[in-house]
Amino acid sequence: MYFDDFECCNPLGSKAGDDLGLNSILGFNESFQASFFCRFCKTPNEMTKIQTVEDLYSLRTQINYEMDMKSKSFGIKEECVFNCLPSYHVIDNCSVDLMHDMLEGILRYDMAQVLYYLVDKGYFSLDNLNERIRFLNFSEVDIGNPIPPIKIKNIKK
């Protein structure tokens, strides 16, 4: 969990960190397989797999949060301990886990489509890309975690 050094009217700063850690510390379900796992909305898990447009009626509000918290429903396990602080409510905490949600999440699918398009249009070949990746000078931190060769079956969908 990371904290901003300073944020006006919020002594805690913004909460940012791993989704599981945030769900835990903020009082939400800690399983992303649960029926209701999202900190931002009350959309059922199965619906999130096919939903393409935000449903404004399913967004969490302070009012529906209070009702759901009392009944421990819709993915709320317990009241967020920070809600007792002035100028803070868990619903106003909009931090997401950029690495898991974007970089290791949906962007890998987008990049696969971009790579497939570029290879298909002849901007470069997959062999050329793999050769350049193979000879890339990695930093000492990344040497033990090489990028595997990219195969056409992994980017074509």
Domain that holds residue 53: 2-96
One domain for residues 46 and 90: yes
| pLDDT value, residue 104 | 75
Residue 7 has pLDDT above 50, yes or no: no
CB atoms within 10 A of CB 119: 19
One domain for residues 68 and 133: no
pLDDT in tens, 40-94: 999 999 999 999 999 999 999 999 999 999 999 999 999 999 999 888 899 987 7
- Specify the pTM: 0.64
| pLDDT value, residue 8 | 46
Distances 13 to 2, 16, 22, 61 between C-alpha atoms, Å: 9, 9, 14, 20
One domain for residues 13 and 73: yes
| pLDDT value, residue 35 | 95
- Which residues, in sequence order, are bridge partners of residue 15? 3
One domain for residues 106 and 82: no
One domain for residues 84 and 126: no
Query: To the nearest whole percent, how much of the chain has pLDDT over 70?
Result: 89
| pLDDT value, residue 139 | 84
One domain for residues 139 and 76: no
